[in-house]
Amino acid sequence: MALRPIRLDNRRISALDKSQTVTPQESVRPMPDYDLVIVGAGPGGYVAAIRAAQLGLSTAVVERDQVGGVCLNWGCIPSKALLRNAEVVSLFKHAADYGVSYDNLRVDFGKAIDRSRNIAQRLTRGVESLLKKNKVTLVKGTALLKGNGRVEVKGGGTLGAKSIIIATGARFRGLPSLAVDGKSIITSREALELKQLPSSVVIVGGGATGCEFAYLYAAYGVKVTVVELLPRLLPTADAEVSQALEQSFTQQGITVMTGAKVTKSTAGQPVKLSLEGPKGAQDLTSDLVLVCVGIQGNTDGIGLESAGVAAERGFIAVDDAMRTSAKEIYAIGDVTGKLALAHVASAQGVAVADRLAGKEVPALNYSLMPRAVYCQPQVASWGLTEEEAKQTGRPYKVGKFPMLASGKALALGDRQGFAKVLVDAQYGEIIGAHLIGAEVTELLAELSMAKMLEGTAREVGWLTHAHPTLSETVKEAALAAFGEAIHI
């Protein structure tokens, strides 16, 4: 696609090839104008860039750190690799159940970390190849919005764009009572490089990240305590799921303290914590404290004010079309504070790219976005929880099927958990799905597809599922909503 010449550094220049990667140090080589410039190459930014390029838009992405963002490099991917290691270790611990014995089992957590880093690096290279394949220009540097469709790359040139997408993501948030020092009080970012296991760890925050690390460390024999401010683990999950997870954690030797708040901390060896909870004041000591209490948007230092982009409580305000307060500037992903999940950022990025290419795109329904937690047992859900369904006042039915009654789950040796569906009593529409158990993150998509195609719980129940499979639990749960389950 030919572009008009533009002026940079007082020179008249021609457009560059869109498939190259450039750096600010190459500012003597002028950068071209684009249909779309994206700030940030995480799962929102790079996906938006590829989709926009597929639709014929000339596209550039500016990334100051690593392609793939936090998710690929320091979140979703390396943590799941480590969790797989934990599953293998757990399987060895229960080898006698399968008639397998061994002597002198040794585990090397450092090699597990190395494996996770290698996987992340391989995927980073893959994303860079995809950008090049789709002729997206990758600009290495720090972006600064300058207004009027201009993005300055610090230390380099300026990119002109018809539209801009901000996809700068978010960073881990600390607490006034817990000053992260990167050594004895850390976030998951540091934890993903920590090759030496502590003998004990206190995890502050019982959300998805906290629960995943709790399982990981416990599997390797670390003494784990989870401290959660709210009354239960996974506070936004269905109450029955939270209760089942807490019971499983207790069986795994994990101490769970809910309704507890850290009031004071003293870094060192060991770390000293003061808590306030249902039992009053309490002191804890631990080799390590891992803080998993949420995120804050990366909105500072990127020129929001110059570009006229409004922020609220540290996140960029957007409408249903992901438009910001500034014309032709959009924001996607964690920086919007909508729903901090990689697949949500990707969906937002595709939606914006489609709109810019003139396609009609429906607004995203965040209540139906799948949520997944990869501890063991796994947790997966979308839609209304039972508490939320009660608040709507609409009549509903509950279908529930235990993993204990699944032949495949018993064969796998993973019989904890259940599949649960909430069904509109009048029309049979599935309004919520909540699963806990072995590999349930892989089972959720069936119910999501049924919802998207306007199917009913009866149709999920009628569908013949292969036997024996874990997916049969979904079928039976759907039938159970009408009192028609076969195996309970």
Closest listed residue to residue 451, CA positions, set 372, 349, 381: 381
C-alpha span between 138 and 135 (Å, rounded): 9
Backbone φ and ψ for 400, nearest 5 degrees, come out as: -140, 135
Known catalytic residues are 467
Residues 294 and 331 sit within 8 Å (Cβ to Cβ):
no
How far is CA 466 from each of CA 125, 210, 228, 470, 472, rounded to the nearest angstrom?
Answer: 37, 35, 40, 9, 7
